[in-house]
Amino acid sequence: MRTNNIHMKKKSAIVICLSFLCSFTLVFSATIQKEAPLDIREFLKHADGETIYPSARQLEMLKKVIPTKAYQPAPAGSDRVYWNAIAATPSGKAYLQEALTMLSKAPEVPISDEIYRRANKEGNRGIYKPRYYRTMERLEHFILAECLENKGQFVPQIHTYLQAILDMKSWLHPNHDDAENGVLEGRRVSIDLGARKFGGVLALASSLLEDELSEAMRDAIKEQLQWRITDNYLQSSKVPDENNHWLNGTSNWNSVCTSGSVLVTISNSDSSEERVAAIGSAINSMKYYLSGFGADGYCSEGLGYWGYGFNHYLYLAQMLSDYTDGKINLIAFDNPEKLKRVGNFPEHFEIQQGTCAPFSDGVSHIKSAGSNFAEVLSSKYYGAKKPSEIRMEEAVEQIMAWNNPILFSAAETPSEQKSVLKGHTYFDDFGMVISRGKQKVPFSIALKAGHNAENHNHSDVGTYSIVLGEDFMTGDIGAPSYIAGSFSPDNKARSSWGHPVPKINNTLQANGRAFEGKIIETVFEDTIDKVVMDLKSAYAIPLLKSLTRTILNDKDGTGTITIEDDVVSTAPIAFGTAIMTYSQYEFIDDHTVLLTSEHQKLKVEIKSKQGALKITDEKVPVIHLREGGTAYRIGIDFVKPIKKGKITITYTPL
């Protein structure tokens, strides 16, 4: 999806007249009595067990703080005071120019039933997803551009695009439908990452372009939003069903789909009861989403999904704050200290020089692409580092940025957002450590105990990633690309076979919350970091008496990182571990390997106690890996079964 990359400086803020911003805020606050803000901790106490739909007591509490009028993301396009002021800003001008470059392009939906069914069966996102998101991005641009320009030249395309979306049988990503294509065939309705987006764009068009759309078009939009989103969302909130399992989920799906469902309902529904119920359901649902983060702020989905999920959580928070004049505060929720740690996760998760561990389905590099809405709001509300540029992806985010120009201005100088990474970061709840070298060419390691039921789970208890400079040298190879079979626990990039962890009696790590690692010892000093993990519980092997992994980062000189696995069993077992890498490798002798990346070289020395070792290399048999390139597994195994043994791998930069 293309990103609207708009650099907005603080000086642009003076262009916007404060009076119309204040009057816009008053549209919502005028109908609210002088009530105290909602006490979210108290609100959650009155939930009806695990039911997402708000209880009678919760509904009473909400009615005191929610306006009786529907939510308006921004004034309608007919409000020329507001939109002319936005149009005069650099970002408004840039947005209009980008929309003009898209104006001649036709919508790319609906896709054919044949492509839909094929995408579902194969898990092939490439044959539909770019079409979906290009269509929605253009329509969002057309809607806001028409409000900015007010000449009518975008209106024909807006009608064409709206009708195309209304004509779609299913708004779901095809691979999110069931095996029998129940949504496509009209047997049920469901909300996913695509449906919430289609719904949100239509709701925005109806809200902002009331004078430009025909009555028939507005009625069609209202009807479809009601049954595709609002009715479906509220029904699943009342009684769990097959349609929206994400409602009590802990992954990014919850915040993303909830934010879209709430936007649609509070801006499109004519029923104040439905609007209140949707907000109450969202608050109850966000309790589950936030529980997916560690008490230490750790996001097991990785940095990319932190951005996607937390972006939408914060835009839900900002939307409800704007709508209720600050009386619903999801920024703090019921645990402001935890939210602060979540908001600061990206900086704490960085290894060095823009790299981070690709654990689970995470990414290995911090990219200047996609929306950084979460980083911007985290800088204000949680004291996180302020971004050096502002990037918006969704129209609602862009409107919020225009309504808050000071907040959504980039750090003007590097010194404003420069920070020095500490020698280590310890996420003690999830059991994840980053040990950072401070050499001229820094040599660092990220490692994780964790458990095997995390979001986007890999069987990877004990995994690690080693970085030299900005090059990933060895360790976790990241996720398989999202195609059919990629989420299977047997996928060799997802199972423990494809991770730098032990293999015992030809048995891999087991899956489930009980299969975990524990950090049992830590030492953090200026020149050395030491972490000891107990990995025994990650394996369903009765013969296993103990299994510990000790990681030592000696930061003297150019640095040395050592991984030592120590195993004891009640009977002889086959035991081994692995080096995983995308780097070129060369066997120097029977216990030394040379890894070569684009810029660096790393010597790997392998030693053992209580037995001889054999080293076997093979290509990881997964066609598409999200990190790109070809990964290799260098297996290190005892030649004969052992009852007690130790394998030591020492990494030294050259």
Q: What is the pLDDT of residues 393-452, one digit of tens each?
A: 899 999 999 998 888 887 655 444 556 889 999 999 999 999 999 999 999 999 999 999
Top mean-pLDDT range of 122-131, 317-326, 406-415 = 317-326
Distance from C-alpha of 278 to C-alpha of 276, rounded to nearest angstrom: 5
Residues 574-585: tens digit of each pLDDT: 999 999 999 999
pLDDT band for position 636 (50/70/90)?
very high
Residues 7-42: tens digit of each pLDDT: 443 334 333 444 444 444 444 444 444 679 999 999
Q: Are 549 and 567 in contact (CB under 8 A)?
A: no
- Over residues 323-336, the mean pLDDT reads 97
Distance from C-alpha of 2 to C-alpha of 476, rounded to nearest angstrom: 29
pLDDT of residue 418: 55
pLDDT above 90 coverage of the chain, percent = 80
pLDDT of residue 381: 94
pLDDT of residue 415: 45
- DSSP-based three-state secondary structure for 524: strand
- Over residues 354-363, the mean pLDDT reads 88
The yes or no reply on domain 424-653 and CATH 3.40.50.2300 is: no
Angle at 317 between CA 427 and CA 84, to 5 degrees: 130
Residues 74-112: tens digit of each pLDDT: 999 999 999 999 999 999 999 999 999 999 999 999 999
Q: Which of 2-11, 188-197, 449-458, 505-514 has the lowest average pLDDT?
A: 2-11
> Which residues lie closer than 8 Å to 22 by C-beta, 6 or more apart?
none
502: nearest Cα among 457, 536, 453: 536
Long-range contacts of 97-102 (CB under 8 A, 24+ apart): 98/4, 98/141, 99/138, 99/141, 99/142, 99/144, 99/145, 99/154, 100/145, 102/137, 102/138, 102/141, 102/142
- DSSP-based three-state secondary structure for 568: strand
Q: Are 169 and 184 in contact (CB under 8 A)?
A: yes
The answer on pLDDT for 5 being more than 80 is no
Distance from C-alpha of 342 to C-alpha of 332, rounded to nearest angstrom: 11
Distance from C-alpha of 84 to C-alpha of 80, rounded to nearest angstrom: 5
Q: Are 265 and 229 in contact (CB under 8 A)?
A: yes
pLDDT of residue 34: 64
Distance from C-alpha of 596 to C-alpha of 587, rounded to nearest angstrom: 12
> What's the mean pLDDT when you consider all of the chain?
91
479: nearest Cα among 360, 308, 621: 360
Distance from C-alpha of 166 to C-alpha of 170, rounded to nearest angstrom: 9
Interstrand relation of 632-638 and 642-653 (parallel, antiparallel or unpaired): unpaired
455: nearest Cα among 300, 291, 290: 300
Residues 268/272/273/279 CA torsion (nearest 10 deg): 70
> Which residues lie closer than 8 Å to 486 by C-beta, 6 or more apart?
123, 479, 480, 494, 624
The DSSP letter of residue 467 is E
Distance from C-alpha of 298 to C-alpha of 289, rounded to nearest angstrom: 13
Q: Record the tokens describing residue 155, joined without a space.
A: 């209106």
Other residues' Cβ atoms within 10 Å of the Cβ of residue 502: 26
The answer on pLDDT for 65 being more than 80 is yes
CA atoms within 13 A on the CB side of 401: 32
Distances (CA, A) of 486 to 80, 417, 483, 504: 50, 38, 6, 24
Q: Which residues are registered as beta bridge partners of 426?
A: 433
Q: Are 351 and 465 in contact (CB under 8 A)?
A: yes
Query: Residue 172: in which H helix or E strand, if any?
Result: none
* Max Cα distance, the chain (Å): 81
pTM confidence score: 0.90
Distance from C-alpha of 487 to C-alpha of 247, rounded to nearest angstrom: 21
562: nearest Cα among 447, 641, 481: 447
- Over residues 357-368, the mean pLDDT reads 83
Backbone region of residue 437 per phi and psi (left: phi > 0; alpha: psi in -120 to 50; beta: other values):
beta
pLDDT of residue 533: 98
